[in-house]
Amino acid sequence: MTSTAATGTATTTATAARVVDAVKVYGRGDTRVRALDGVSVGFPAGRFTAIMGPSGSGKSTLMHCAAGLDTLTSGSALIGDTDLSTLDDRGLTLLRRERVGFVFQTFNLIPTLTVAENITLPMDLAGAARDDEWYDALIDVVGLRDRLHHRPGELSGGQQQRVAVARAFAGSPDVVFADEPTGNLDSRSGEEVLRLLSGTVRRTNRTVVMVTHDPVAAAHADEVVFLADGRLVDRMTDPTAERVLDRLKAFDTRTTSGSLSPEPRS
Ligand SMILES: Nc1ncnc2c1ncn2[C@@H]1O[C@H](COP(=O)(O)OP(=O)(O)OP(=O)(O)O)[C@@H](O)[C@H]1O
């Protein structure tokens, strides 16, 4: 077990990824935007965390910096105990390939490869040996066994996103980051993908961090962290869609930064 002493909040849970005093500034002069304004947040291992907040609040920026897709202006981003600022480009590429999984809104599958080849592509690129037991279990969890030799174009959107989820988990990464994973899906397929994400976390003790606009999607998470104006303003454990929606409405009617009453921690 590790503690999150660096964030000032002692917990008994290991932290898969975290940012500490994260500041991200885009542009300069008149066009300068402080997208992250001193965010410290940890994403516990074995849990499903959703990041929510109004448009422009910094959700994607937080995810990209936490995942090593972008760099902070100041502060730290860590995957496990690895401070991403200590890595050069090659180190970051390796970290993203070996320790982080990604699910994007637009599936990002390779159309000429089969489902099976898409799922193992990151491992194949990394030259990593396949863990047959985990791969087999994963194929059953995502329900794709009878589609393994199909191409993505022969699958529905929901099925393609399930392939993307399997690909993200295939190499047993420390954390899977999902950016609006249901944004391109109808509500039924979206629901399936969310159940798949939350089920994989619960059944196999994996870690997922998801950016979403959708309170129904966020309700599948164990915890929701809320951003406003580049700051962490609230957290909610065991969310329901109604409670998340109520909390979001509060952003519209009140001064956001730090003014919301904190959710009792469990
Ligand atoms: N590459 C960039 N260059 C300049 N400004 C940027 C860039 N990326 C984001 N921003 C700005 O940073 C702020 C936070 O953007 P970000 O995309 O992180 O917010 P978000 O909460 O994910 O928004 P949305 O919900 O609309 O996707 C916004 O004001 C945005 O315009």
Between the CA of 61 and the centroid of ligand 1 the distance, in Å, is 6
Topology (CATH level 3) of domain 47-62+84-253? Rossmann fold (3.40.50)
pLDDT digits (tens, 9 = 90+) for 54-106: 999 999 999 999 999 999 999 999 999 999 999 999 999 999 988 999 999 99
- In testing the pocket of ligand 1, which one of 31, 33, 65, 105 has its CB within 8 Å of the most ligand atoms? 33
As a whole number, mean pLDDT of residues 214-239 equals 96
pLDDT digits (tens, 9 = 90+) for 22-33: 999 999 998 999
Q: Is the pLDDT of residue 6 over 80?
A: no
53 CA: nearest ligand 1 atom: 21
ipTM comes to 0.98
- Predicted TM-score of the model (pTM): 0.88
pLDDT digits (tens, 9 = 90+) for 112-157: 999 999 999 988 887 888 888 888 888 988 888 999 999 999 999 9
Phi, psi (deg, nearest 5) at residue 101: -110, 150
Ligand 1 neighbour 61 (Cβ under 6 A): yes
